[in-house]
Amino acid sequence: MAAVQWDPFDAIEQDVRTMVADPRWSAVPAHTQAQAMAARLLRTPDGACWLFGAHARWYRHEPSDGEWHLSAPPADQTVRSAAHAPHPAPAVPEPLLASSADFSFDRGSTQAFVGPDVPHRIVEQVRTLLDASQVSRADTPYVTGPLRALFYADVPATVAMVWGTIMWCAYAPAFDGNEVLLSMFGEFLSRPLPGDDWVRWLPPTPLEALVEPYAESHGGAQGTALRLAALAGDTARVLLPDPRFGPRAAALLAMVEPLRARPWLDHAARDAVTVRQAWLARCPDELRGAVLADTSAGEHFRHTLYDLVRALEFVSAHGADPRAVAASLLAADVHAVAPGVAARLYPWMDAELRQTYYVTLAEPRHPLRGCWPREGEPPAALRPPDRGSAAALLGAGYATGLAWCRLTGTPPPPRGFPTSAATVSCLIDERDDPTPGVPGTSAEWIRHT
């Protein structure tokens, strides 16, 4: 039997997790914590130092700029096993110190809703909430805010709240075109959803889409506002078991559930802006990672790019570097969708990733352009080995695309980004399409003419 190769990255990660889980850790002064973390740094043969810290993620220290950058660790086992303690060790900044809250956050899944559909039990529970939300009440307002353009004018805000909660909670809102969770809203939507026959490439839903109807009703009809908030909480609770919704559903519950017992919590809020601030302030530290899209577009981009690198780890079996491939795929999407914003992403990448991204964009004959899709298909080496890996790559790729669009103010493409759209071809033959003949499963209402 071959000997198991020791992995310094795995060993340090486990060591840090054990150290931070100790109840005494939170009482240790920051400078002492920094010393303890510095003793657990790794240096790889390329000269970079690595820290496992805040957000329970890895950071790379660049000798060229002396800065720490959020960065997925190397996947190559030879590189990992060659890592050793650095001498001297760079200083560990206080914001990167790990806390127990970081390790209690469940990141859920990066899978899109193509291939693995939303479980039937969750769909039926959402349908029950949607049916109840249509019960006529004289004080129920019509849909307002960011979702107004999507629905008919006479659709009640309660219906839009259920939809908005689903979309806000989704890690990557790319859905199978036949997904029942979408088709049940068909009678309310005033226009086709963006996408094609296979996938609905939905834009990100901001927290404002949930806050504004609540804030408007809060100013004149508190009972209506509380019903909307309760409906958002009920929908989030239904979505919670699906790991593609789970982290943000937990964060939304933390923001709105206190209103059930203390309905006066938002009385001091003057408008939707201050209500939004109040909601985010109620999000506990252990769930802060779930709301990064609403609190820091740049940090959110960094984390989705990290997810994309992790989703590409299967390419290391072919001798490829997942970090380099992720930079190439990012370059492919930016080149196709909005080449003019390319340079605006540089500050949010470490030096190595930034250089790879730059040369792939700048040199048409660069070998990494071989990672780009051709005629809507990924290269053979980038075809994931199984269905779950394909769904994870699709989700992480789409989430990264939405993140850089949000960061640069670029409208997301209605038919998806080239790289995530190419991944769909790996899942077309394995979709969980609804059973023919079952009422409510047809996708004809959202097909483009």
- Residue-level pLDDT, tens digit, the chain, 449 residues: 445 578 999 999 999 999 999 999 999 999 999 999 999 999 999 889 999 999 999 999 987 778 899 999 999 999 999 999 998 889 999 999 999 999 989 999 999 999 889 999 999 999 999 999 887 666 678 888 889 899 998 899 999 999 999 999 999 999 998 899 999 999 999 999 999 888 999 999 999 999 998 988 765 457 888 999 999 999 999 999 999 999 999 999 999 999 999 998 888 887 889 999 999 999 999 999 999 999 999 999 999 999 999 999 999 988 999 999 999 999 999 999 999 999 999 999 988 899 999 999 999 999 999 999 999 999 999 999 999 999 999 999 999 999 999 999 999 999 999 999 999 999 987 655 544 333 333 333 232 22
Answer yes or no: do 184 and 99 share one domain. Answer: no
Sort strands 49-53 and 42-43 into parallel, antiparallel or unpaired.
antiparallel
Tokens of 14: 């486990």
The secondary structure element, H or E, covering residue 57 is: strand 57-61
Shared domain check, 374 and 355: yes
Of 286, 157, 290, 179, give the one whose Cα is nearest residue 231.
Answer: 157
Q: Which helix (H) or strand (E) holds 49?
A: strand 49-53
- Whether residue 208 is found in the same domain as residue 321: no
The residue from 287, 316, 336 where one domain ends is 287
Amino acid at residue number 124:
E
303 shares its domain with 398: yes
Shared-domain flag, residues 354 and 258: no
Do residue 263 and residue 309 come from a single domain? Answer: no
Q: Coil, strand, or helix at residue 357?
A: helix
Instruction: Calculate the dihedral angle through the C-alpha atoms of 432, 433, 436, 442, rounding to the nearest 10 degrees.
Output: 150
Residue 438 belongs to a domain: no
Structurally, the chain folds into a number of domains equal to 3
Domain match, 125 and 248 both: yes
Q: Which of 239, 267, 287 is the last residue of a domain?
A: 287
User: Residues 272, 353: one domain?
Assistant: no
Q: In whole angstroms, give the CA distance from residue 78 to residue 81.
A: 5
CA distance 180 to 433: 9
* Same domain membership, residue 242 and residue 305: no
Sign of CA dihedral 376, 377, 383, 386: positive
d(CA 22, CA 335) in angstroms, rounded, equals 47
Nearest to 92 by CA among 146, 49, 37: 37
In 64-223, DSSP assigns E strands to 68-70, 174-176, 199-201
> What is the tens place of the pLDDT at every residue in 239-248?
999 999 999 9
Whole-prediction pTM value? 0.92
- Residue 1 is assigned to a structural domain of this protein: no
Which residues contact residue 82 at a Cβ distance below 8 angstroms, ignoring those fewer than 6 apart?
Answer: 44, 45
Residue of 341, 446, 431 lying closest to 111 (CA atoms): 431
Closest CA relative to residue 275, chosen from 204, 209, 224, 203: 209
Beta bridge partners of 61: 49, 68
> Is 240 inside any structural domain?
yes
Bridge partner list, 195? 200
Residue 189 lies in a domain: yes
* pLDDT tens per residue across span 41-61: 999 998 899 999 999 999 999
For residue 133, the Cα-to-chain-centroid distance in whole angstroms is 28
Domain boundary among 262, 287, 312: 287
Q: Which domain holds residue 22?
A: 8-104
Q: How far is CA 173 from CA 176, 182, 232, 346, 367, in A?
A: 10, 11, 18, 26, 32
